[in-house]
A = this chain, B = another copy of it.
Amino acid sequence: MDLTERKLKILQAVIADFVRTAEPVGSRTISKNYEIGSPATIRNEMSDLEEMGYLTHPHTSSGRVPSEKAYRLYVNEMMKKRELSQEEKDAIAKDLYSNVTELENLIERAAHVLSEITNLTAFALAPGNEQDKLKYVNLLPVDDNTVVLTLVSDSGKVSNTAVRLKKPASEQTLRILSKNMTYNYSGKTLSEALTIDIIQTLKTDAEAMVMFEKSIAPSFIRTLEDMLNVNLYMDGLTNIFALPEYNDINKAKTFFEMINRKADITQKLISRDEGITITIGEENQDEDLSDCSVVTATYHVDGKMVGKLGVIGPTRMQYDEVTSVIEYLTDNISKAFMLEEGDDDDL
C-alpha cells in the first residue's frame, strides 16, 4: 500500500492533534478541522494507516494514536523546520543570559530556559576535560569484599576508589577483570572510556561479568565522571506532572527513578552522536525510556564537541519546536564559548 498524499495529510493531522491534546483522535475531528473529506473517508484511510503500522487503536471504539513509526516518519520526512521568530529568539537569548556570570552557569541556565520553553525535562552536560586519556587501570584486592580501583590519566590525575563488592571475588576473577579493563580502557580518552561497553568482552567469564556490572562499573563510571569533571544539570523535572501521560502515580515514580540514576543518563548522553539526535520510544536502548523520546544537540568549541543539551519527554512531543529551540540554544552556547576564548587575553 502506498502512502498517498492524503494519507500523509491525515497522518500529520492525527499527530498534530494528538501532540496537542494527548487524546486519541477520531475521524470526525479531522474531518471538521481539515479539508480532507468526510469522516467515513478518513476512517477508511485511517484503517489503512493502521494496517501500515502508523496508527494504533487503544480499543475498538476509540480514536487513533500515532505509533512510534509515525513519529519517526514525521521527524524524518514531514517535519518542517520551525524557524523561530526574531521575537522568540530575542526572548530566549534574554532569558539565557540573565543571571549568567560564568560559562558553567550558562550551561545550567540553558537547561533551565529549555525546560521552561518546552515544558519538558531538560538536561545539559557541561564540558569536561575531554582530551585526557586513561593511562593505567587496576584492581587491587584488599579483602574478600573490597578492592581498590585505581585510575591514572595522562595528565597525571590519579584516583583511588575503595569498592565494596556485592559478593566476594576470587583472585582469579580480579586478575581477569583487571587485565581486561587495562586492555580495553588504557589509551582511551575519559569520555571514550565512558562509552565503551566491555561487558561484551567478558561474556566468557560469567563471574567477572556480574562483578563488573554490579560492583565495579558504577564506581568506575563515577570516577571517570569526576576525572572528566562532567557535570550534568537537570531542570524542569516537575514539568512531567503537568503531562497527562504521567497522571498515573506509578508512571511518575518510574520516571523519577530513572532520572535519578544520573550516572546512567550521563553515560547514555555522552555516547550520543554529534549534532541533533532524536530518539523515539523503543529506539532508546534503555527500557525505562521506552515510552519517552529524547532530543539532544551538541555544542562545540573550536570544532570539538564539548557538551550536550537535550530534553526528555513523552513520545508525544512537539518535535519541531523542541528541535528549533535546542538548536538555537546550542548555537548560542557555542558562540558564548568562542567569545570567552577570545576574552581570555583581555582579562
Chain B residue, CB-CB nearest to A223: B101
Please choose the segment from A2-10, A25-33, A161-169, A204-212 that sits at the chain B interface, where 4 or more of its residues have CB less than 8 A away: A161-169
CA distance A247 to B252 in the complex (A): 11
Given pairs A101-B159, A101-B162, A249-B252, 12 additional interface contacts (CB within 8 A): A97-B162, A98-B162, A98-B164, A99-B161, A99-B163, A237-B256, A237-B260, A241-B249, A241-B252, A241-B253, A249-B249, A256-B256
Partner among B146, B162, B238, B257 whose Cβ is within 8 Å of the Cβ of A253: B238
User: Can you pick out 12 interface pairs between chain A and chain B where the beta carbons lie within 8 Å of each other?
Assistant: A97-B162, A98-B146, A99-B162, A100-B162, A101-B160, A238-B257, A241-B252, A241-B253, A241-B256, A247-B249, A252-B252, A256-B256
Q: How far is the CB of A204 from chain B (nearest CB, A)?
A: 28
Instruction: Report if A219 contacts B (CB, 8 A).
Output: yes
Q: How far is the CB of A169 from chain B (nearest CB, A)?
A: 15
Do the beta carbons of A219 and B256 come within 8 Å of each other? Answer: no
**Max chain B CB contacts within 10 Å: which of A98, A99, A253?**
A99
Residues of B with C-beta under 8 A to A252: 241, 249, 252
Number of copies: 2
Residues of B with C-beta under 8 A to A160: 101
Q: How far is the CB of A95 from chain B (nearest CB, A)?
A: 9
Do the beta carbons of A99 and B241 come within 8 Å of each other? Answer: no
List which A77-94 residues lie within 8 A (CB) of chain B: 94
CA distance A219 to B105 in the complex (A): 12
CA distance A161 to B219 in the complex (A): 36
List which A251-307 residues lie within 8 A (CB) of chain B: 252-253, 256-257, 260
Residue-wise interface mask of A (143-179) relative to B, using a CB-CB cutoff of 8 A (1 in contact, 0 not): 0001000000000000111111000000000000000
Q: How far is the CB of A168 from chain B (nearest CB, A)?
A: 14
Residues of B with C-beta under 8 A to A99: 161-164, 218-219
Q: How far is the CB of A247 from chain B (nearest CB, A)?
A: 6
Residues of B with C-beta under 8 A to A161: 99, 101
List which A52-100 residues lie within 8 A (CB) of chain B: 94, 97-100
List which A190-220 residues lie within 8 A (CB) of chain B: 218-219
Q: How far is the CB of A92 from chain B (nearest CB, A)?
A: 14
Do the beta carbons of B260 and A238 come within 8 Å of each other? Answer: yes
Q: How far is the CB of A243 from chain B (nearest CB, A)?
A: 11
Chain B residue, CB-CB nearest to A165: B98
Residues of B with C-beta under 8 A to A100: 162
Residues of B with C-beta under 8 A to A98: 146, 162-164
**Max chain B CB contacts within 10 Å: which of A219, A238, A247, A260?**
A238
CA distance A219 to B101 in the complex (A): 10
Residue-wise interface mask of A (219-239) relative to B, using a CB-CB cutoff of 8 A (1 in contact, 0 not): 100000000000000000110
List which A302-345 residues lie within 8 A (CB) of chain B: none
CA distance A100 to B162 in the complex (A): 6
Chain B residue, CB-CB nearest to A95: B164
Chain B residue, CB-CB nearest to A160: B101
